[in-house]
Structure 1
């Protein structure tokens, strides 16, 4: 019984750690339709940037696309960019199965009293729980930006400084 409990505790820890995994890190997509960024040059000063992730947070994915746009801007020798088109897609899918397992141990004390004395008995109790469900959802978020690059003074408030984006959204790369 003790070995069974140890195995159940180990399996529970593995399941819980897997459930707590964070969204994919900032990276280049390795395949078409894969998680990460892709970009394509549309004209000399125009690019289409796409970031796709299994994150449930649309803002995180949008920030990653902006970060990539800022990287492109600096890599090409420009200072700022304007987002000329922006699209965001969220696709929610059910993932099967959702598996949960739990192991518990608690102590049961029972006290019986007679006319002259009381007797207390102690008994450890173990419990094992298992749940399988197919109701877990996964979200796939895709942010697509079309950008126009520029040098010198920024034209207006609708433009982004590449240096500011790279500084202010630096945590995107570290998550």
Structure 2
């Protein structure tokens, strides 16, 4: 019994660990969860962050800004500008039918001369649970720059962004 409980606890812990939002990490495959970038010109990149269905929109947008700031510092620049920026929401519905039926279920009994009595339940009385699942992906065209940060709402000092958003960025658990 003790081994059974230990196995159950380990399985439950594994399931809980798998069911969490996307951490700040590089996307491991095309269409995977995490950040990716594509260089367009010497100082211009397309940056994106894609989250799973448990990742909130705000987290996806925060991780995008953080990656743009990291990329800016890695390339030896001081600030970045977001030329174009968008966050897309992919919504879908998942449904499950319940198999529980109580005594008030619609159930019919028939008598057949060769087979005797048999029952049939109406499948249209099943309960269906629908759940909306939303997954966010943020994308931006990022232009890197050197020197003083321009006084513009689309310009960000990379060091400030890293310092201010760093506490919100959660790396993957190893």
User: TM tier, shorter chain?
Assistant: 0.5 to 0.7
Distance 1:31 1:172, change over 3 A: same
Counting only pairs closer than 5 Å after superposition, residues 113-128 of structure 1 correspond to structure 2 as none
Structure 2 residues not aligned, in runs of 5+: 99-126
CA contact (8 A) 2:57 2:136 kept: yes
SS at match of 1:34: coil
2:163 alignment partner, one of 163, 167, 171: 167
Distance 1:96 1:19 in 2: 23
CA contact (8 A) 1:28 1:38 kept: yes
Structure 1 residues not aligned, in runs of 5+: 100-131
Counting only pairs closer than 5 Å after superposition, residues 94-105 of structure 1 correspond to structure 2 as 94-97=93-96
TM-score norm. by structure 2 comes to: 0.67
Distance 1:95 1:19 in 2: 22
Match in the other structure for 2:149: 154
Q: Which has the higher strand share?
A: 1
Match in the other structure for 2:12: 14
SS at match of 1:50: strand
Counting only pairs closer than 5 Å after superposition, residues 58-97 of structure 1 correspond to structure 2 as 58-97=57-96
Q: After TM superposition, where is structure 1 displaced by more than 4 Å over at least 4 residues in a row?
A: 96-99
TM-score norm. by structure 1 comes to: 0.67
CA contact (8 A) 1:90 1:139 kept: yes
Distance 2:146 2:74 in 1: 13
1:33 alignment partner, one of 28, 31, 34: 31
Larger of the two Rg values belongs to structure: 1
- 1:97 to partner: Cα distance: 4.2
